[in-house]
Amino acid sequence: MTAPLLEVRNLRHAYGSHVALSGVSLTVHEGEIFGLLGPNGAGKTTLLTLVSGLFPPSSGAVMLQGETLTPTNAGMKRKIGVAPQELAIYPELTSRENLRFFGEIYGLRGAELDARIEELLRFMGLEDPVGRQLARTLSGGQQRRLNLGLAILHRPRLLLLDEPTAGVDPQTRNHLFEGIRRINAEGTTIVYTSHYMEEVQTLCRRVGIIDHGKLIACDEVSKLLTLLPSVIRIRIDGPAEETQRAAVAIEGVVGCKMEQERMKIECHSVPPTLSRWMAICQERHWTILSLETTEPNLERVFLHLTGRALRD
Ligand SMILES: Nc1ncnc2c1ncn2[C@@H]1O[C@H](COP(=O)(O)OP(=O)(O)OP(=O)(O)O)[C@@H](O)[C@H]1O
Ligand SMILES: [Mg+2]
């Protein structure tokens, strides 16, 4: 069996006496967009920085295709691209000059570098005249796009994105998403860090949830969502006891209780439960007076696992 592209083994990191990561283990497979979700200060940037090989962990190991990553192994580090949370662009250089500067660091030269720069400016929507502007004069969204372009200059196998949508408007966010999906479709494996559960839920099939330096869950998004039931809150003009009895008899219903005048039905899935419920109401001549449904999401999973909201 071939080794996974990235394996993090029992990683621990402390800044002085402050433990920022403790005992984190996870695996990222070739070709996936893996989400790393956690609130401010959870340890996401620390984990990505260790995976990028910038400094060694206090203990534990980062393995790339089965080989241990060390900060001095330039060949292995070249397989990784990083778009850091704090923008890594030179404000006094233009977008084109930034790409050239980092391209040369990666050893690209001549026609190959020229072509790659133009390709990336097009890819990031930073064609001229924007490409000739000083980076510090670009909008926040354009700077984020340039930050991403710099991370993929050398066509890395593994791309680490640390809050790539920080401070951008919804349109730029969608543009970035499109770019990230294309980079992935062209064969780059991605670790995507965010404290926006909607982003992770949209882009990633598998996700790790990190809190206070610990990985508290790691699985497919669809599996994590099954930790919680869907909820239907409904007010009906039928007799309370009879309506409750009818509700719990529906296949897939796991709980039912009255909340003042409304009945709270917990179920595996809203659509089949609701269509069965509609049929029952029709048979018994009950009228639905109000209806509200709540599907589980990663925000609620986080609340369920930690007792706290993902964002303060
Ligand atoms: N260089 C440092 N020196 C001391 N403490 C640090 C350092 N970098 C991070 N920390 C602390 O380590 C913890 C984890 O920080 P980290 O930046 O990894 O979290 P994060 O999940 O990326 O947060 P955010 O969502 O705010 O970016 C925090 O408590 C932070 O204050
Ligand atoms: Mg961070």
Does this model's pTM top 0.85? My answer is yes
pLDDT digits over 177-221, tens only?
999 999 999 999 999 999 888 899 999 999 999 999 999 999 999
- The span from the CA of 163 to the CA of 143, in Å, is 13
Q: How far is the CA of 299 from the centre of ligand 2 (A)?
A: 18
Ligand 1 atom at minimal distance to the Cα of residue 195: 25
The domains located in the chain, with CATH, are: 6-225 (3.40.50.300), 230-295 (3.30.70.100)
User: Around Cβ 162, how many Cβ atoms within 10 Å?
Assistant: 23
- The span from the CA of 110 to the CA of 179, in Å, is 26
Ligand 1 atom at minimal distance to the Cα of residue 163: 27
Count of alpha carbons within 13 angstroms of residue 309, beta-carbon side: 3
pLDDT digits over 217-239, tens only?
999 999 999 999 999 999 999 88
Atom 27 of ligand 1 has which residue's CA nearest to it?
A: 40
